[in-house]
Amino acid sequence: MFDASTFTQALPLILKASQMTIFVSVIGLMLGFVIAILVVTACLSPSAWVRRCGNFYTFLFRGVPLLVQLMLAYYFLPTLGINVSPLTAAIAAISLCEGAYLGEILRGGFLGIPRGQIEAAQMVGLSSTHTLIRIEIPQALKLTTPSLINEMILLIKASALISVVGVAEITRTAQNVAASTFRPLEAYLIAGLAYMLINGVLSVLGHYAEQRFGRA
C-alpha cells in the first residue's frame, strides 16, 4: 500500500537533492559548451591533423559510456596523484562527455550556415575570432536550438548516473530514503516526479527559446 507519510517526509529531501542535480547539469552543460566550441572548431579546421584530433575526441567520449567515464574520473585520477571530490569528478566527466555530444550538434549548425555570410564577414575585415563569436556561433545556436534543448533534457536524466560516485543528487537521495524507510515505491515516485518537473520546465523554456529564435 502507498504510504502518504513516507511520501511527505521524503519530499523535502528530494527537492533539496534536485538543487544538486540542476547545479551539476548546468555547470556540466556550460563547460561542455565551451569544450564543444573548441571541438567543432577543430573538426572544421583546414588542418588535417587538427581535424583528426577533434574527430578522435568526439569518437572517444561518445564511444565510452558516461558511467564508465565517471568511474574513471573518480578512481583513475587518484592513481596519477590527482585527488578529486566526487562532485568534481562528476562535473569533469559530464563536461567532457557533453563537449563531444554538443560538438556534433553544433557542427551540424555550423555546416548549415551559408558560406556567403562567412565570406561577407571576411570582406568587411572581421577576424576569424570575431566571425566565430558574432556570426557563426549565433547562427549555429539558432539552427540547432531544438537539438540543444533535447540534449539538456537528456543530460538531466543522465545526471542520475553520478549517484555511483556518491553525489547526493535525486537518484542517490531516493536510494537512501528507500534504504532507510524500506519504502522504495514512495521514494522513487518522488524522484520520478522531480525529474519530470525539471524536464517539463526545460521543455517550456526550450519551446519559448525556439519561437524567439525563429522570429529573429
- Which tens digit of pLDDT belongs to each residue from 153-196? 999 999 999 999 989 999 999 999 999 989 999 999 999 999 99
Give the residue with greater pLDDT, 206 vs 106. 106
Give the number of domains in the chain.
1
CATH of the domain at 185: 1.10.3720.10
CB 33 within 8 A of CB 47: no
Residue type, 108: G
CB 161 within 8 A of CB 67: yes
CB 41 within 8 A of CB 104: no
Q: Return the percent helix, strand and coil in the chain, to nearest 5.
A: 85, 0, 15
| C-alpha torsion 79→36→152→65, nearest 10 | -40
Confidence of residue 216 (pLDDT cuts 50, 70, 90): low
- Report helix, strand or coil for 182: coil
pLDDT of residue 212: 74
Q: Quick count: other Cβ atoms within 10 Å of Cβ 150?
A: 15
Cα–Cα distance measured from residue 102 to residue 105, given in angstroms and rounded to the nearest whole number: 5
Whole domain around residue 149: which residue ranges? Answer: 4-215
28: cell is 556540466
CB 25 within 8 A of CB 156: yes
Residue 94 Cα to chain centre, angstroms: 6
Cα–Cα distance measured from residue 143 to residue 112, given in angstroms and rounded to the nearest whole number: 8
Residue type, 103: G
CB 7 within 8 A of CB 190: yes
| C-alpha torsion 196→23→61→155, nearest 10 | 10
Confidence of residue 120 (pLDDT cuts 50, 70, 90): confident
The pTM assigned to this predicted structure is 0.89
